[in-house]
Amino acid sequence: MTDVNERSRIFREMCLKADTERDKGLTTPENIARFDDIPYGTDEKWQILDVYRPKSAEGEKLPVIVSIHGGGWVYGSKEIYQFYCMDLAQRGFVVVNFTYRLAPENRFPASLEDTNTVFAWIRDNAEKYGFDLGNVFAVGDSAGAFCLSVYACILTNSVLAAEFGKYFSPADVELKGIGLNCGLFTTADYDESLEAYLPKEPSEHAEVLRMLDAVSHITPDFPPAYILTANADFLVDAPAVLIPVLAKNGVKYESKVYGTNESPLFHVFHCDIKTEAATHANDDECGFFRGLM
């Protein structure tokens, strides 16, 4: 069996090839103003972000969408997500698209620390970039949805927040709603894909897996959630453990499986903005957010 570093290398090469082909020919839309390569932390390589705004809303405060990219904890960057995020911005949002430290070079809790630092940065820079702090939303896909579900629990569950206090203090921000796209929400049956993110010391795994099990930490204060997946996604059944917990806690949610037997859709299909299916799904998710404002 290949080790975690070799598996990560192979996975990165495979994903980069597919994502480059997906976005081939795309350019920055003429109606989007972009602010690139803004540092949000001290790591000049990884802790950087972009902000995208519709030019028609210059000078206005807009609702915010923060995007947490996917990539199995070992792959991804804001460059890979720039066109998807600018597509969201065209729907009337200011979108924050950030790169975070990847595993296995940077393990737990690196991506969560970086996510928290980004939300703190948003609060500190609201005036400069026109963030409406009363309407802060977030989306995440695959591992990004996993990260977002855990971070939403940290912001809304004081017990879990205290446990994470050894790593960081939660940002002073309220999530108005979240989009959990093609994600995983429990560590009960984790596979080797999560191995790269867990601490190197095996004795720490059980405690970290417990802290990362989002469905165990949801409270009635968990933000309203739009749950998006696809009929041919290998994680299509993942929301089945999340939805009953949301319902039990009285959390507002909508869940939709996209695709048909005749036209199947696959993992993170919504990021392929050239397709009608992605347009439909992203319209639905942003419509859900607008309904919360």
For residue 66, report the phi and psi dihedrals to the nearest 5 degrees.
Answer: -100, 125
Q: Is the pLDDT of residue 274 over 50?
A: yes
pLDDT score recorded for residue 190: 73
How confident is the model at residue 2, as a pLDDT?
62
What mean pLDDT do residues 129-149 have? 98
> Residue 133: is its pLDDT beyond 90?
yes
% of the chain with per-residue pLDDT over 90: 96
Q: What is the pLDDT of residue 23?
A: 98
> Per-residue pLDDT tens for 71-108?
999 999 999 999 999 999 999 999 999 999 999 999 99
Question: How confident is residue 193, by pLDDT bands cut at 50, 70 and 90?
Answer: confident
* pTM recorded for the entire structure: 0.97
- Asked if residue 172 has pLDDT above 50, the reply is yes
Q: What is the mean pLDDT of residues 233-260?
A: 97
* Residues 185-201, mean pLDDT to the nearest whole number: 88
Average pLDDT (167-183) is 97
- Check: CB of residue 270 under 8 Å from CB of residue 179: no
- pLDDT tens track for 13-28: 999 999 999 999 999 9
For the chain, list the domains and their CATH numbers.
4-290 (3.40.50.1820)
> What pLDDT score does 1 carry?
45
Q: 36 pLDDT exceeds 80?
A: yes
